[in-house]
Amino acid sequence: MTYSKILVDAPMGTLKCAICHNDIKQDNHLYQSERNKSIVCPNCWKLFSKEDIELIIDLFFAYGGYFGKNDSSDFSVNEILKNLTQESESDLDLDQLNIKLLHKALLCGITPEDFVKKLNEILMS
Ligand SMILES: [Zn+2]
């Protein structure tokens, strides 16, 4: 996967970052995925690794929402686990659970890195 730096030439307010949904300003230098043409703002570019950016874009495409949509204090792994396991009782596989948890974390503005830290904290306790 490759990203190229592009200079935006579009009317104000028509472009949004694929991750945080902030408006893209006309004079911003941006990064565009050559795989899915998604545009990422400079902030998100700094915040996430290239691999994470692709994963995050896929997650929001599949499940909706955007980075930081909800308050980070809304995020409780224990509570989300409880809800998710109630949602889809028997046919829940671990990979899917992980993906759904990560999606919830991203909605609350938690980076994949912090998400892994939080999971480890819970596993250690
Ligand atoms: Zn962004």
Report the pLDDT value the prediction gives residue 1, as an integer from 0 to 100: 45
Ion ligand 1 residues within 5 Å by Cβ: 17, 19-20, 41, 44
Ligand 1 centroid, distance to 85 Cα (angstroms): 31
Ligand 1 centroid to Cα of residue 79, in Å, is 27
Q: What CA–CA distance (Å, rounded) separates 59 from 82?
A: 21
Q: Which residue has the higher pLDDT, 17 or 9?
A: 17
CA of 23 to the centre of ligand 1 (A): 8
Q: Where are the domains of the chain?
A: 1-63, 68-125
Instruction: Determine whether 42 is exposed, middle or buried from the number of CB atoms within 10 Å of its CB (0-12, 13-18, 19+).
Output: middle
For residue 42, what pLDDT is reported?
85
Render pLDDT for 37-91 as a digit per residue (tens, 0 to 9): 788 888 898 899 988 998 999 999 999 999 999 988 878 877 877 777 776 666 6
